[in-house]
Amino acid sequence: MRKSVVAASVAAVVLGLAAGAARADVKFGALYPFSGQLALLGEESARGLELAVEEINAAGGVQGEKVVLVRGDAVDNNQAIGEARRLISLERVVALFGTYSSARSIAASQVAELAGVPYFELGAVADEVTGRGLKFLYRTNPTAEDMAKLAVEMIVNKVAGGLGKKPEELKIGIIHEDSNYGTSVAGHQKKYAAAAKLNVVTSQAYPASTVDMSSLVLDLKRRGVDIVMQTSYQNDSVLFLQQANEAGFKPGAIIGGGGGYSMQPTADAVGHGVIEGVLDTDFTQFLVNTKYTPGIEGFVEAYKKKYNGNPRSGHSLNNYVGAKLILQELNKTKGFTPDTITKAMKNLDVKAGTTAVGYGFKFGTNNQNERAAMMGMQWQNGKLVTVYPDEAAVSPMQFRK
Amino acid sequence: MDILLQVLANGLMLGGLFAIVSVGLTLIFGIVKVVNFAHGEFLMLGMYGTYLVTSALGLHPFVAVIAVVPVLFILGALTQRLLIQPLMASGDDHIQIFATVGLSTALINLALLVFGADIANTPPHGLRAPVEIGPVRVLTGQIVIFLAAIALVVGLQAFLARTQTGRAIRAVAQNRAAAELMGIDVKRIYALTFGIGAACVGVAAVLVAPLYPTSPNSGTYFVLTAFVVVVLGGLGSIGGAFAGSLLIGLIDSVAGFYVGSDMREIAVFGVFLLILILRPSGLFGSRLKLAHVSP
């Protein structure tokens, strides 16, 4: 009697294991800052990844297996490293997705590189992420350099004409927060501006935690700057726009870079009247020509259904498209060894204008998506609408008369 | 010339802002002799309180003072009673510092949990309106902050100098053991002082919230400078903290305009280091009294 019970339970356990093995979920790591200061956009980024995985699973998974995401909380650089280690060695994920924050990405991807596990960066913009020549790191999203390139392109192609001047007649002021992010974007802005023969009259850094930018505003005003390019986070974006307005400084155009400039609370904080006409370079946003971004409406629908609200920024969209294309590509191959994954990525080839983010996908030098590009947006009537490039624009770029 | 005046005015307004934030800090340091690293987070909580009262009830932000100041007083007094006081018995001052650092981190993450990382905007109710004084243009809210900082400094000094409780507080600061022998309830005075210090930052929060967006990190933006100001003015000297604030504000503004905004912090901390080297006890500080440490 007792023996048979034991035998039965052993059999049950074995069967259970076997059943588990047959279903064999395939695990991927989702490494984002889910708590701490970067939690808001970290979580927003992860939502895009989750939606991509849900869609893939609903369509039969990858190679017939269900994709399971294991979360790792990259609350700071040390923890990003620790969590990457845990995901790789304990959870045995076949690859990692991440990370939103460049610093976390740079730290965690080193762990993955040493372990020989592919790491897919879907949202961090710093040059160094792909600039280190890592073999297992791939980046799908546009970079700090793309952001600067687009801003200068916009000035030359659109803004100068809109202000009724030649590009080289404009006085350009570059201001940026003084961490790695602002400094690298500003550096590229200077480089591209010089190449386009633009007249950059000043370039100034300030700490992002500043509580006063009035002297900087006065300085720009005194120099008669026509176009301000600011690379900033939210606090300093709000501060600059408010203090410029209060000091009566009204340049021909203000071009913000990502972060604070793309967020609705920034517009609400500054006031819709004050932010009217301010330009912004960033990831693809939602008020965009849907012919150029097929699939974006379906994404927003799915997002609303799952999270009961509109996407809070373009981060979710970029993560969604990047993750979806990678998982689809993995579906075309067999197995999840690092070798098969890296081989599969060589075949990824998607044209611009065919994805929900607009830009295309092909991994080039250093595994950076060489087709990734940012878009130009403008605040019009309290909304962030896409105005550049023309094929993605929903509204013409407007200028202060 | 007009530009110079504007730069100076900006500096004074910035100084007023630093002053109102650091008054409470310097009081707590001077009396309880605890470096309260959670001071900025008290400010942040006060700003959220102001935001909630203002946006929920549609009232002028200054009305929030009725709610925010008592709440922060209680929070401060409780911090002293429940967190700092038990650690004072341990005889190692460093533990109290770690405790306030821990409290700071806990409060930031609590705010992240409750309010999210996004910014909250207190409606300005006209406090962002510029006022022209001659060639100079400043915000109504900045002038209010500046005047309130002066009132707070004068008021606190009078309270410490004139009232029975104020004298008891000073007695405890001078010599804890002697004060206790004179029949002063030292624990009560500490809790009271910590409460008053927190209440002061509550006043600051109500005035600052309409001018700056509130986020869980708001406190950290202000508090580093507040520490500089407190040390510069002479630890525990309230008038000194005020003078230190104006000095730092002016240096920040002038250097930011004439030298370059990336040099602002170098200028501010350069002067700070210089003053510490020349006058280790700060501009207005007497030698730091640590009578309570020695038996």
Asked if the structure places residue B292 within a domain, the reply is no
ipTM of the complex: 0.87
Residues from chain A that touch B260, judged by Cβ atoms under 8 A, are: 204
Range of the domain at B264: 2-118+127-278
Chain A stretch 223-242, residues whose beta carbon is closer than 8 A to a beta carbon of chain B: 234-235, 238-239, 242
Distance, in Å, from the CA atom of B253 to the CA atom of A214, rounded to the nearest integer, reads 8
- Note the pLDDT tens digit of each residue in B89-146: 777 778 888 899 999 999 998 998 898 877 888 888 889 888 988 889 899 999 999 9
Same fold, A10-142+292-370 and A145-282+376-392: yes
- Whether the CB-CB separation of A367 and A134 falls below 8 Å is answered with yes
- A222 interfaces chain B, CB cutoff of 8 Å: yes
Contact B197, A211 (CB under 8 A): no
At residue A257's C-alpha, the angle toward residues A256 and A258, to 5°, is 115
Higher-pLDDT residue of A386, A24: A386
Residue B258's domain is classified under what CATH number? 1.10.3470
Q: Do B6 and A218 touch (CB under 8 A)?
A: yes
The nearest CA of chain B is from the CA of A219 a distance in Å of 6
| Mean pLDDT confidence for A17-24 | 48
What would the mean pLDDT of A373-394 be, rounded to a whole number? 94
Cβ-based interface (< 8 Å): residues of B facing A: 3, 6-7, 10, 14, 17, 108-109, 112, 116-119, 121, 128, 130, 137, 139, 212-213, 215-217, 220-222, 224-225, 252-257, 260-262, 264-265
The pLDDT of residue B141:
94
Is B77 domain-assigned?
A: yes
Chain B: residue whose CA lies nearest to A37: B117
Q: What is the mean pLDDT of residues A333-356?
A: 94
Cα B105 to chain center, whole Å?
18
Q: Do B257 and A215 touch (CB under 8 A)?
A: yes
By Cβ distance, the residue of A41, A246, A248 closest to B139 is A246
Q: What is the pLDDT of residue A23?
A: 52
Q: Is some CB atom of chain B closer than 8 A to the CB atom of A274?
A: no
Residues A331, A337, A338, A343, Cα dihedral to 10°: -50
List phi, psi (to 5°) of A27.
-95, 135
Give chain B's domain count. Answer: 1
Strand order in the sheet with A119-121: A67-73, A26-32, A95-98, A119-121, A137-139
* CB-closest option in A206, A235, A242 to B262: A206
Q: Which of A124, A34, A134 is nearest to A318 (CA)?
A: A124
pLDDT tens-digit readout, A179-191: 888 898 999 999 9
In a domain, B258, yes or no: yes
Work out the average pLDDT over B197-221.
93
The pLDDT score that the predictor gives to residue A16 is 45
- Range of lowest pLDDT (A368-382, B160-174, B215-229, B238-252): B215-229
The confidence band for A4, taking pLDDT boundaries of 50, 70 and 90, is: low
Tens of pLDDT, residue by residue over B216-246, are 989 988 888 888 888 888 877 889 999 999 9
Residue B183 lies in a domain: yes
Q: What's the pLDDT band for A36 if we cut at 50, 70, 90?
A: confident
* Residues in B touching A35 (Cβ below 8 Å): 109, 112
Contacts of B10 in chain A (CB under 8 A): 212, 214-215, 218
Average pLDDT along chain B = 89
- What pLDDT is recorded for position B119? 86
Q: Which CATH superfamily is domain A145-282+376-392 in?
A: Response regulator (3.40.50.2300)
Per-residue pLDDT at A1: 45
Q: In CATH, what number does A10-142+292-370 get?
A: 3.40.50.2300
3 state SS for chain B = CHHHHHHHHHHHHHHHHHHHHHHHHHHHHHHHCCCCCCHHHHHHHHHHHHHHHHHHHCCCHHHHHHHHHHHHHHHHHHHHHHHHHHHHCCCCHHHHHHHHHHHHHHHHHHHHHHHCCCCECCCCCCCCCEEEECCEEEEHHHHHHHHHHHHHHHHHHHHHHHCHHHHHHHHHHHCHHHHHHCCCCHHHHHHHHHHHHHHHHHHHHHHHCCCCCECCCHHHHHHHHHHHHHHHHCCCCHHHHHHHHHHHHHHHHHHHHHCCHHHHHHHHHHHHHHHHHHCCCCCCCCCCCCCCCCC
Q: How confident is the model at residue A235 (pLDDT cuts 50, 70, 90)?
A: confident
Q: Domain-by-domain residue ranges, chain A?
A: 10-142+292-370, 145-282+376-392
Confidence band (pLDDT; 50, 70, 90) for A154?
very high
Name the percent of chain A lying above pLDDT 70: 94
- A 179-218 → B contacts, CB under 8 A: 204-207, 209-216, 218
Domain-located, residue B93: yes
pLDDT tens for each residue of A242-253: 999 999 999 999
